[in-house]
């Protein structure tokens, strides 16, 4: 009497496992986009701050004055700066768009995995739930809090997100250039023994490198918890997913 029921349960488990496998493959793509997007913004900041790939008009003009040339005479350098600016503007905008798509779909994938896992009673539900909530935290970091702040344009807001803009990078680059390497620079209103230049660089590193790094780390943790839940679901369901339905 119980054999048909057991056969039905086994078939249902296989279907749930196959569904989880499909979600897992999609999740890997979305996780890749979620990690790549903030990584590209970190690279953009590093290229501007340390690579010298983006020299603003103020920077070029200062170099021309220092070398004794008339301002505007270094057209080649200005054109190179404009080319880098256009390329970085396109790359950063595309990365931010891809990142928002990636985290949205990653949230969808992890939530679907939770529902499929609970419906099939496959095991590993706690890991799928943990993966979902960690992805929610990443999504909160992806919100452009800095642009939504009510602070005046000339005042730096106290909150910020993972992504930035090219204009913001240029502003911080110029601020770092004008910072004195000798004068003491307060950090969060306190004198910690750093020069102005080092204090500005430290704040910029926290803003443009550490925050994206935290988002990347959390996204990877979400992926690890998803994988752990997936392996547990397969183990409790009795092994491998069939390649085709017989």
For 187-221, the pLDDT digits (tens) are 555 555 566 667 777 778 888 889 999 999 999 99
Closest by Cα among 241, 235, 233 to 11? 241
Tokens of 68: 């004794």
Sign of torsion over alpha carbons 157, 42, 47, 73: negative
pLDDT band at 65 (very low <50, low <70, confident <90, very high): low
pLDDT in tens, 160-175: 788 988 888 887 777 7
Residue 91 has pLDDT above 70, yes or no: yes
% the chain with pLDDT above 70: 66
Interval 101-128 mean pLDDT = 93
pLDDT band at 1 (very low <50, low <70, confident <90, very high): very low
Interval 136-159 mean pLDDT = 75
């Amino acid at each position: 009497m119980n054999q048909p029921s057991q056969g039905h349960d086994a078939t249902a488990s296989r279907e749930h496992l196959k569904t989880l496998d499909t979600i897992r493959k999609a999740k890997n793509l979305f996780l890749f986009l979620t990690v790549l997007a903030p990584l590209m913004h970190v690279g953009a900041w590093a290229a501007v701050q340390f690579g010298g790939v983006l020299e603003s008009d103020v920077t070029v003009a200062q170099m021309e004055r220092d070398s004794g040339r008339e301002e505007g005479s270094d057209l080649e350098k200005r054109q190179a700066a404009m080319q880098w600016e256009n390329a970085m503007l396109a790359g950063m905008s595309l990365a931010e768009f891809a990142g928002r798509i990636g985290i949205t779909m990653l949230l969808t994938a992890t939530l679907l995995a939770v529902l499929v896992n609970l419906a099939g009673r496959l095991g590993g539900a706690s890991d799928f739930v943990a993966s979902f909530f960690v992805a929610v935290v990443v999504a909160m970091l992806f919100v452009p809090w800095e642009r939504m702040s009510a602070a005046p344009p000339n005042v730096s807001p106290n909150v910020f997100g993972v992504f930035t803009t090219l204009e913001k990078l240029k502003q911080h680059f110029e601020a770092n250039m004008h910072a004195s390497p000798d004068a003491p620079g307060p950090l969060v209103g306190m004198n910690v023994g750093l020069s102005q230049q080092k204090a500005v660089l430290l704040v910029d590193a926290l803003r443009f490198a550490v925050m994206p790094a935290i988002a990347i780390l959390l996204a990877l943790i979400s992926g690890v918890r998803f994988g752990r839940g997936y392996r547990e679901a397969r183990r409790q369901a009795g092994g491998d997913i069939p390649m085709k339905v017989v």
